[in-house]
Amino acid sequence: MTDCDTQIPARGTHSTNRTTSQPFKAPNPEKHFDIIVVGAGVGGYVAAIKAANLGLKTLIIEKGAYGGVCLNIGCIPTKTLLKSGKVFEQTTQKAAAFGIEISKDAKITVNWTKVMERKEDIIKKLSSGVLYLMNKNKIKHLEGEALALDNHTIKVNGETYTADDLIIATGSTPRGLNLPGFEQAQKAGFLLNSTDALSLPKLPKKVVIIGGGVIGVEFASMFASYGSQVTLLQGLPTILEMLDGDLSKEMTKILSAKNNITIVTNAMIKGIEKNKVVYEVDGKEVKLEADYCLQSVGRQAVTTGFDNIGLQKTANGYIEMANDYCQTNIDNVYAIGDVNGKLMLAHVASHEGVIAVNHIATKKGVKHAGHTKMEFECVPSCIYASPEIASIGKTEEQCQKENIDYKAFKFPFSAIGKALADGDTHGFVKLIIENKYQTVIGAHIIGNRATEMISEIAVAMESEATIAEIAHAIHPHPTMSEAIGEAAEALLTGKTLNL
């Protein structure tokens, strides 16, 4: 799972102090490649496949499991556990509302071992699929730790390999707090990070989560769906503070309404005493006992092996992008995915991989290589809690801060037939347009299937569609996407058709 807490950066802020590499003559042509990719996560393996498709001789190196963080200890396993929890929650809490009666003597329980087995089976299938794609595309792949000797030479397993260009796709790891008792609690297995939380030996009765960002909220939703008592401790005044304010407020309201989730904001974490988390709120110290404590306080770049070749880094330790092609300050070295810290999402990593390879191929004169740039303003982000959240573009708060002449409209799912039929009417679609050209500059959705619906807006923003074009597009009935059409109609005419 990649962390979405990173803000979308302003364009035109890249460093221009780049080092131009000199023509490189390979000492051993058999071990020389057009591109070496370090890291076989979603960004790395997509980059390698793209390079192979363009006829570039490619080597990919991975020290862990194919598929990286997203496939093995992030996106896929968390969503798998979320789905099992949702099935359990629907069966035990919502079945009666749909006319499904369960006899009083019927005992519905969670078989945690089976839940874990299902998760591992899905990971295994996808990871082996990545390896299959490497072989199918005739990409040389090595397992081991990569060490950059210079900007053309990589050493792995005692052997050296060279390349015209390098792509660093080494990802990130969870950050941790350095507070009293944290080190001991981690050694004792009480304090977890997001990786640990995906392989618990048993389902906890009580969980404390430190951090109200994307990962914290997803895990809070997941554990609560299995019946665990969850306390979410957030140091800021709101959870999901990077999102549009209406989304944050709505999610807070929905989560707080659940009997087994407690949200504490403005909480100052003091430390851990054995199985108790110590925090302060409103000047009062609280000691909260739990089975586990999950700390979700962001992620940090993995740059091991590349610290001695002169790469420029940001203040937070990410490899700095020099331009929108993912080049670093060294012009034959590219950084994609979490390691550049721009927007830590799996689909961003894969897109950056394609852009980096296209740029390399274009430099080499390869025909039919695309030459697009990264456009961070049009990247959708998703949160797989219950309900789901999806967002793209500017928030209303950003529009106000930037003095943009805009209009916004929210259409509730409670007025949508499909939402009523599904028994899930929480949330809304919110569209934001700028008034001069009437194009969409932001969209924020919270509700059932929000993560599937956001793609329509991503296409609209990429093609600079006007709100009239969205309103005039026929949205099929009955679907949740009708809410997008209704919001567009309201912004176009000032009136809705179903409210």
Report angle CA 49, 50, 51 to the nearest 5 degrees: 90
Asked if omega into 174 is within 30° of 0 (cis), the reply is: no
Place of tokens 């618990």: 200
Catalytic hit among 32, 359, 444, 477 = 477
**CB-CB neighbours of 483 under 10 Å:** 29
- The terminus-to-terminus CA distance of the chain in angstroms comes to 38
- Contact indicator for 169, 39 with CB cutoff of 8 Å: yes
- Our answer to whether residue 141 is catalytic in this structure is no
* 3, 83, 89, 351 from 221: Cα distances, Å: 16, 11, 11, 29
Which residue numbers are catalytic? 477
